[in-house]
Amino acid sequence: MKKIFFILFITLSCFVRAQSPDTTFVKKKIRSTKFDVLLSYYQQDGSHSAVTGGQGTEKLDVYISKIGINHTIDSTSTIMLEGGIDIISSASTDRIDMNLSSASAVDARTWVSAGYEYISKNRRHVIGGIPSFSMESDYFSLGMAAWWSAHNINQDWRYSVSGQFYSDDLRWGRLNEDYGYPVTLVYPVELRDSAWFDIYKRYSYNLTFDIQHDINKRTSIGFFPGFTVQNGLLSTPFHRFYFEGNTKAVVENLPRQRLKIPLGVQLNAFVGARTIIRLYYRYYWDDFGINAHTFSVETPVKIIPQFVFTLFVRFYTQSQADYFYAYQTAPDTVPYFTSDYDLSGFSSFKYGAGMKFMTLKGGSLKQLELRYAHYSRSDGLYFNQISSYLSVPTK
């Protein structure tokens, strides 16, 4: 399941530490290091696997581990290093070769990123960049992200822009002991007598804007427009597809380019002295024919200064892509086709809770957070996820 990748870069503008301008700024050596550790377990099931043509189990288990190190060199410079390993056990991809408990049943994703961030002397501008790579048995990705953020003199307006580029190679063979290099795309076992695609690369270009304004001391609003362009092999080579009246599978086929345009709006407001309400709406459009709406509410409540309890809910709905067809419902004259239910019309509901423990200044533990989420979709897909996050500063 490759849709849980690369979501960390969009919020990097949060690293800004707004301060009043200081014309007598002196660069200080304040070396410090912060360690962040994330552990998460994700469990999913459903009955519309794209691997078997839109029917069959979607059972998936993912064990996620990530460690991040932020090293502050001085008052203007920070070095960042992140990496992680995800262990993925999937009953649906196990059906690629129809041999249960085969090598395709379990996979591992390894990723690493390292970058640099600079804060200007007047403390009003932040700029940074971070390259990355990610690898699985049938997937290799190189990425680059860069960002810039600023705030005005009164600190009631904040602006940022971030861009990401990813180059993905979808060939298998790098982690196979008999090869050690990319060899071929992975097709369903019965369809390997043909080369269904003459390309194996996918390119993604993302640009995201973040505009935030403090309306008053208790209320702020943010706008998050952006766009994504993808080109290359957008089909998943091991997804089967069955035309109407035909029991022989073919490989799904999608256009070679896709444009995505999201627009998000968030309103944060203090309610009383201890509670914040975060209201979020996002509209999404793409040229595959999908229109989507997201509504979410999150309410952090500070029980005591060191403990915050959060409840959250999210509702999502989307229209069906132009190229989606359920099992054996498409005429064999259509040029593009898929039975991946991620591209179907559906609605979903997600809810959960989180607990955050924080120590006072000078403590050995900066933050410990636990979070649980349950997700259900109108086509029967559901997942449960539990995560823990630990932040430890050192001098």
Measuring CA to CA, how many Å separate 178 from each of 193, 200, 247? 21, 21, 34
In the chain, how many domains are there? Answer: 1
List, as one string, the DSSP characters of 46-64.
-SB-TTTTS-B---EEEEE
pTM: 0.88
The separation between CA 36 and the C-alpha centre of its own chain, rounded to angstroms, equals 18
Per-residue pLDDT at 229: 98
Q: How many CB atoms sit inside 10 A of residue 100's CB?
A: 9
**DSSP label of 342:** G
Q: What is the pLDDT of residues 276-329, one digit of tens each?
A: 999 999 999 999 999 999 999 999 999 998 999 999 999 999 999 999 999 999
**DSSP label of 13:** G
Answer whether 328's CB lies under 8 Å from 243's CB. yes
Q: What is the pLDDT of residues 230-248, one digit of tens each?
A: 999 999 999 999 999 999 9
The verdict on residue 147 lying in a domain is yes
Closest CA to 212 of 225, 202, 223: 223
The verdict on residue 7 lying in a domain is no
Q: Tokens 């559906």 sit at which residue? A: 346
The verdict on residue 385 lying in a domain is yes
Per-residue pLDDT at 19: 36
The verdict on residue 24 lying in a domain is no
SS3 content of the chain, % helix, strand, coil (to 5): 5, 55, 35
The verdict on residue 21 lying in a domain is no
The verdict on residue 331 lying in a domain is yes
Answer whether 340's CB lies under 8 Å from 374's CB. no
Per-residue pLDDT at 225: 98
Q: What is the pLDDT of residues 317-354, one digit of tens each?
A: 999 999 999 999 999 999 999 999 999 999 999 999 99
At 82, which CATH number?
2.40.160.40
Q: Nearest 5°: phi and psi at 190? A: -80, -5
Predicted confidence band at 393 (pLDDT cuts at 50, 70, 90)? confident
Three-state DSSP string of 74-118: CCCEEEEEEEEEEEEEECCHHHHCCCCCCHHHEEEEEEEEEEEEE
The verdict on residue 229 lying in a domain is yes
Residues of the domain holding 184 = 33-394
| Token output for 353 | 């809770």
Q: Which of 27-36, 170-179, 188-197 has the lowest mean pLDDT?
A: 27-36
Q: What is the pLDDT of residues 81-132, one digit of tens each?
A: 999 999 999 988 888 875 555 555 788 999 999 999 999 988 899 999 999 9
The verdict on residue 84 lying in a domain is yes
Answer whether 323's CB lies under 8 Å from 349's CB. no
